[in-house]
Amino acid sequence: MLLFLDWQSDGIAARLALILYGVILVIALLPGLRRCGAVSRLVPAALAWHGVIWAFIAFWLLPYYAAATGADCYGYHHNGMMVAQVIRAGNWGAISWQLGSDTMPIVTGLLYAPFGGDIYGMLLFSAALGFCAALYLCRAFALWATPAQLKQYAIIILFLPSLGMWAGYYGKDSWVAMGLGMAAYGYSSTLKPHGPVGVWHLLAGVAIVTVVRPHIALVLAASMGLAYVWGLTQSRRLSVLAKLGMIVMLIAMFGLLAAVARGFLGLSEVSADSLQEYARTKSAGNAIGGSAVEVQSSPGVVGALLNFPRGVVRVLFQPFPWEIHNFAAGMAALENLFILWFVLSRAGRMRKLFRGMVRRPYILFSSLLAGMLLLMFSFIPNLGLLSRQRVQLLPFLFVVLVGAEAVQKRGTRPLGITSHAWRPRGPGRTSPLPQPGPSLAPEGSMIPSAPRVHGAWS
């Protein structure tokens, strides 16, 4: 049964304008997929799939929950209509600029100002944001992956139901997904000689995440900085000035984001104890509804680490099949079974992956970011909220899991290693020098055929 939203609308022109915004956004990203054949071949099916998800959200999910419990996006839409009127009147001083949830009506108003507002058009634009975020994440991984790995990763990122639903839902999640995707692609590109395009995407992505969720931006910057600095200790290809310049930029970004996050969260200081106390206080307010669960928390950093394994299970694998009580919980439980199978099927390969991770800084960054987000979300005592929040970490967790796929395959060059001295060993192979053969370059990378000398991370 179809349900409809009787929300304020400025008519068909506003709806078509918002749809056009989303179409332009998607078309602008498609040329960048020309070197990612595994991804570009999936785009038509992925567009159809995301269209199905949009229809499910627009004609059942959102109307049902808006009528039953209310929806945050109603406030974003209604207030955004008023902000748009203020913008058209030129009264910019009347707009209260804030971070977090208070930003959403302003962003909505900016989009509504030229041609008006419409909820169905905004839902489709949000779906376009989520789809573009998935494309950015695939392009980021393409620079460090083999074609087989990229295809597997793209199938997961483009077709996993929760990623398509919550990353394309009208609200903060779609903008955070877009920011994380841009930042990931920008960071991945800066590790390769792709010019200033990577830096622009990196800074724009971090800015988007900062406006919507400053604490996520802080974790993002910390992960990038740690991975980059650790990689530099093993690299001999970059000049000293390039190393120092990137380190200074990351330190400045981290310091700025720490100050912004402290003000946003209302902390007197940025420390492990203060962050844990904030998480415990914030979590207490989320322990409501039928999806609420009990979270055991011990004081101090040691207590948080001791409770971390149970938190990982809660974030990634709950609700369990026997905890299903409605349709949404049933879909989440089915997806959790897939994640559990995927993790277990690659658990034996993780040791080799971690041992060579320093040569693949993007995978190192993804593992750090996924771990930090897992720790942050482990305090949330609501499975329904977790199903939305974990959309921010799943793309990076799958980078690590899919990145372990090739390490067991004999004769496959470890990703990111381009040294002349590398060569797979086997019976009758004693020379350390490379031999001519077919290119094993990751799809979408700029790595030429052997002999290969390329990249700052050789």
Task: Read off the pLDDT of residues 404-431 as tens digits, 9 standing for 90 and up.
Answer: 765 444 444 444 433 333 333 444 444 4
CA atoms within 13 A on the CB side of 267: 22
Alpha-carbon radius of gyration of the chain = 23
Answer yes or no: is pLDDT of 213 > 80.
yes
Residue % of the chain over a pLDDT of 90: 37
Domain span at 234: 213-271
Of 33-37, 205-209, 415-419, the range with the lowest mean pLDDT is 415-419
Cis peptide bond upstream of 319, omega within 30: yes
Distance of alpha carbon 320 from alpha carbon 40, whole angstroms: 35
pTM of the model: 0.80
Of 132-141, 225-234, 442-451, the range with the lowest mean pLDDT is 442-451
Q: How far is CA 398 from CA 128, 340, 367, 403, in A?
A: 22, 12, 9, 8
Distance of alpha carbon 206 from alpha carbon 214, whole angstroms: 9
Q: Are residues 192 and 238 both part of a single domain?
A: no
Q: Are residues 217 and 293 both part of a single domain?
A: no
Q: Are residues 60 and 96 both part of a single domain?
A: yes
Do the Cβ atoms of 373 and 219 come closer than 8 Å? yes
Q: Give the model's pLDDT for residue 69.
A: 74
1 found inside a domain: no
Higher-confidence position of 167 and 325: 167
432 found inside a domain: no
* Mean of pLDDT values over 298-316: 70
Q: Are residues 242 and 340 both part of a single domain?
A: no
* Mean of pLDDT values over 7-27: 95
Q: Are residues 142 and 27 both part of a single domain?
A: yes
Q: Give the model's pLDDT for residue 339.
A: 92
Q: Which pLDDT tens digit goes with each residue over 237-287? A: 555 666 566 667 666 766 666 665 555 555 555 555 555 555 555 555 454
When divided into structural domains, the chain yields a total of 3
* Mean of pLDDT values over 288-308: 59
Q: Give the model's pLDDT for residue 59.
A: 92
* Mean of pLDDT values over 29-41: 88
- Mark which of 393, 410, 427 sits at the end of a domain: 410
Answer yes or no: is pLDDT of 37 > 50.
yes
Answer yes or no: is pLDDT of 366 > 50.
yes
Cis peptide bond upstream of 105, omega within 30: no
Do the Cβ atoms of 137 and 185 come closer than 8 Å? yes
Q: Are residues 30 and 167 both part of a single domain?
A: yes
Name, in order, each residue with C-beta under 8 angstroms of 323's C-beta and a sequence gap of 6 or more: 329, 333, 383
Q: Are residues 185 and 236 both part of a single domain?
A: no
Answer yes or no: is pLDDT of 138 > 90.
yes
Higher-confidence position of 349 and 45: 45
Mean pLDDT of the chain: 78
281 found inside a domain: no
Answer yes or no: is pLDDT of 323 > 60.
yes
Q: Give the model's pLDDT for residue 272.
A: 52
Name, in order, each residue with C-beta under 8 angstroms of 24's C-beta and a sequence gap of 6 or more: none
